[in-house]
Structure 1
């Protein structure tokens, strides 16, 4: 089984944009958003993906993840049958202190929310934090994309 280990942080300034190596627009929906098994459909740039994630461990930093690329046309069709709510965001990739931070700037009903994730090789791995990172929200379910679809940031 593939295991995803990551930490998630709020972003307190847009200084990361100057450091971003690249960015891509992402539109995604969920065929299933139950925590035990989320099934996500994503269009990332000009590619489509189907992703299945399991429930997180106690810390919220680790969980099962399976992802496969699918044709964009199929992803577009699957988005039509997803649960209500769409995640619309731009992802910026920022290389900092030997880590790649994936910084997501959200739009529409999640406008104003910017979060950064960093993947780790194990949960005990330390992360050097850039000055634009804010509070850690790893394990806070409100910040899961599947929850932002149901209870958008602008409604909090």
Structure 2
């Protein structure tokens, strides 16, 4: 809850939209855990919490790139697209690296150290990272695109960006 409040206070409207996407993310991950089924041990909960952090990080990367584009005078629609495009390499690389580590941990947990908690951590983290990437790149982007088509989209102050043009 503190993370959602921080996102809304610091990033304003995009933070509120990201908070909605993070709630979607949390329900989606928990639904997948129920379907598979995943037993949530302390290690599994740790993997889930870490994946929440990665979801927040992806949104922060996107919003900072969007703010840079808005400060350069781009339209909101252009800032959204450029912000996502500029943030994508960092998001992709961090998630890919995490997937590789999850694969190694899962393999180590199943063969060498035979540790169910290690396997549970790797599985919950991998599921969480996959859903967080979808949530940040698809869900948040969709929310922002929908908002960009409204009249409120002209108020850059809703995006923590002040243009000095008097429309804030």
Shorter-chain TM-score range: under 0.3
Relative to the length of structure 1, the TM-score reads 0.24
Relative to the length of structure 2, the TM-score reads 0.23
Q: Which structure has greater helix proportion?
A: 2
Who wins on radius of gyration, i.e. which is larger?
Answer: 2
